[in-house]
Amino acid sequence: MQVYSQKSFLIVDDFSDFRSSARSMLRELGVRDVDTADSGEQALRMCAQKRYDFILQDFHLGDGKKNGQQVLEDLILDKLISHECVFLMVTAESSQAIVLSALEHEPDAYLTKPFNRIGLAQRLEKLVQRKTLLKPILQALDRGRPAEVLAACAELCKKDPRFAPLCLRYRADALRDLNRVDELEKFLTTIIASRATPWAYAALGNLLYKRNQLAQAQGVYEQALKAFPMMPGLYDGLAEVLVALGESKRAQGVLEEAVRLSPLAVRRQMMLGKLALSNDDYDTSSKAYRHAVNQGQSSRYKDPESNLGLVQALMNKNAGNGLDARTRVEINTVLSEVAKENVEDQGLQVRARLMKAASLQQAGDAETAAKLTEQAMARLEKMDQFFSVEAALVVATQLQKLGQEAAGTSILKGCVETYGDDPKVMQSVAQLTDDPNVLGAVTEAVDLNRQGVRSYQAGQLSEALAQFRRALTLQPKNISIALNTAQALLRIGGEAPPPAIMDECRACLGSVTGIPKSDNRYDRYRKLHIRAFGA
């Protein structure tokens, strides 16, 4: 029998009857330290103040509130609980909770209501035993050291090979964090061949997707969905792959399936909104974005892009028909939320104002639209942050429609300067302008950059650097070229680069500090930044 007198417990449930009943069961088990919370928000505040050894979390905490799964995600991602903490998800019906849960963060166990004291005691006792067995792994996870996780797993498997299957997930996550991709691929393939689980499929699909082996990734997800058609996370993965393959209609269908299974997912709704918008399905798009905005209120995945997307979908849906009163109210509400909650973000401030101006123009109020456009342009001039490609294209289109041709062209020019090495970007830009000054500006620099990459890969570093440098002189704000130059400099500089090289590297990175966090090169930028600036 476990001794719980020194352990701390937290019970989270919106029903006081349940809280008192669970509390008295725990008291009978000898627990002295029991706190309770009636909402996930309160539970998070309490966990920020105190480390709990055990959490009994009810799944359904009322509409419009965080559910148990969201609380668990917040606790893990904000590092408010240790991996050694025992987290029990209490549900009326666990199959529903499983569908709504995310594959990446699972509770230690589900406990189905009703349960009795003996049932609770049994679960707690067994979970403590398991956590004790896995302790070295859990401690390494708390320290954030994947290499130590692997070592601890190897140790456990050697000591008692019968429990090796309990380590599979920890080993896979650690290999992923260490970027040992080939090993991970072999490992996951073996797991799937022997005993397939949804998480193993998702991990393999994601690995192939990241490696750009899209057809293989698609195959893995399709195989996974045959075995586990009720796991929404697998649909998300397949949709992501289909988007990359350019099959956005099919991707939308797949996401709609996932939303039917599990509608409470901010990121999924947002992705669906975006896809449907690009497929010109404005009904689906506005519905999905609306869900994303509403659910975002209680979620860590709240994102102003959903608000902007919702407005865009509503405007497109009513194109040519003005905007009715109800739609105008909705647009005002979601846009003022963006402006209020992102005071420091210049880009979002500009975009929210332009979006508002565009909607006013559609509603027939050209005068206010013009005033707002001017305001937005004044802010635009002072802005030193880069727009993402998508944002830049929307802003340029809106400026053109609002009669600001020149400003629109200059946004496109900026976009080409920053992202012009990507042919897809150039195609999109070409749809909005014929201006040779915009379209022709990058050809030479892009060519040089490509040659540089080839030289770099062939190990001819000084030749690569020369090519990157020339490209960068032509296009100093191009993210790829700047990052390539910085990387070549650091490679040539070796362990302790001379000051001249460090200065040049810092200058390269300095010219692209406006890189948006959403850019998929942002991680690479951060890593180079840390090496060049030490932080």
Partner 1 sequence: MNQDNQGLDFSTVIASTVHDMKNSLAALTQAHSQWLARLPEALRSGSEQGVMEHEFSHLNGMLVQLLGLYKLGVNQLPMCPDYHELDDFIEAQLAAQQNLLQHRDILASWRIETASPLGFFDRELVGSVVANILNNAIRYAGHTLLISVSDEGEQLLLSINDDGPGFPARMLERQQEYVQGIDGKSGSTGLGLYFAARIAALHERNGVKGRIEIANGGVLGGGLFRLYLP
Give the 3-state secondary structure of residue 37.
Answer: strand
The span of 13-21, 39-47, 448-456, 499-507 binding partner 1 (CB under 8 A) equals 13-21
Contact string (CB under 8 A) for partner 1, positions 371-410, x = contact: ----------------------------------------
- Give residues 143-162 in contact with partner 1 (rule: CB under 8 A): 162
Minimum CB separation from partner 1 for residue 92, in Å? 5
- 395 and 415 in contact (C-beta within 8 Å)? no
The span of 36-44, 117-125, 289-297, 414-422 binding partner 1 (CB under 8 A) equals 117-125
- Give residues 199-238 in contact with partner 1 (rule: CB under 8 A): 227-231
Minimum CB separation from partner 1 for residue 118, in Å? 4
- Give residues 84-113 in contact with partner 1 (rule: CB under 8 A): 92-95, 98-99, 110, 112-113
Nearer to partner 1, 130 or 506 (CB): 130
Report the C-alpha gap between 40 and 516 in whole angstroms: 32
Q: Indicate the DSSP class of residue 387.
A: P
Q: Which residues of 469-497 are buried (b: 16+ CB within 10 A; e: fewer)?
A: bbbbebbbbbbbbbbbbbbbbbeebeeeb
Nearer to partner 1, 116 or 179 (CB): 116
Name which of 116, 112, 108, 114 is nearest 133 in CA terms.
108
Across 132-246, the runs of DSSP E, i.e. the strands, are: none
Minimum CB separation from partner 1 for residue 105, in Å? 14
Report the C-alpha gap between 192 and 76 in whole angstroms: 27
Does residue 518 belong to the site contacting partner 1 (CB under 8 A)? no
- Give residues 238-257 in contact with partner 1 (rule: CB under 8 A): none
Name which of 51, 57, 64, 63 is nearest 38 in CA terms.
57
The span of 115-123, 179-187, 242-250, 422-430 binding partner 1 (CB under 8 A) equals 115-123
**CA–CA–CA angle 430, 436, 441 (5° rounding):** 90
Does residue 17 belong to the site contacting partner 1 (CB under 8 A)? yes
Minimum CB separation from partner 1 for residue 207, in Å? 20
The residue count for binding partner 1 (CB under 8 A) is 40
Report the C-alpha gap between 240 and 178 in whole angstroms: 23
Nearer to partner 1, 111 or 508 (CB): 111
Strand order in the sheet with 8-12: 33-37, 8-12, 54-58, 86-91, 109-112
Minimum CB separation from partner 1 for residue 26, in Å? 13
The span of 5-13, 163-171, 242-250, 473-481 binding partner 1 (CB under 8 A) equals 163-171
Minimum CB separation from partner 1 for residue 109, in Å? 9
- 206 and 236 in contact (C-beta within 8 Å)? no
Does residue 62 belong to the site contacting partner 1 (CB under 8 A)? no
Exactly one of 114, 320, 423, 436 binds partner 1 (CB under 8 A); which one?
A: 114
- Binning the chain into helix, strand and coil, the percentages to the nearest 5 are 70, 5, 25
Q: Write out 183-211 in H/E/C secondary structure.
A: HHHHHHHHHHHHCCCHHHHHHHHHHHHHC
Nearer to partner 1, 113 or 186 (CB): 113
Q: CA 377 from chain center: how many Å?
A: 30
Minimum CB separation from partner 1 for residue 170, in Å? 13
Minimum CB separation from partner 1 for residue 146, in Å? 21
CA dihedral 142→144→147→148, nearest 10 degrees, is: -30
Minimum CB separation from partner 1 for residue 255, in Å? 18
Exactly one of 128, 166, 492, 502 binds partner 1 (CB under 8 A); which one?
A: 166
- 272 and 257 in contact (C-beta within 8 Å)? no
Report the C-alpha gap between 52 and 75 in whole angstroms: 11
Interface residues with partner 1 (CB under 8 A) are 15, 17-18, 20-21, 24, 92-95, 98-99, 110, 112-119, 121-123, 126, 130, 162-163, 165-166, 168, 195, 197-198, 227-231, 261
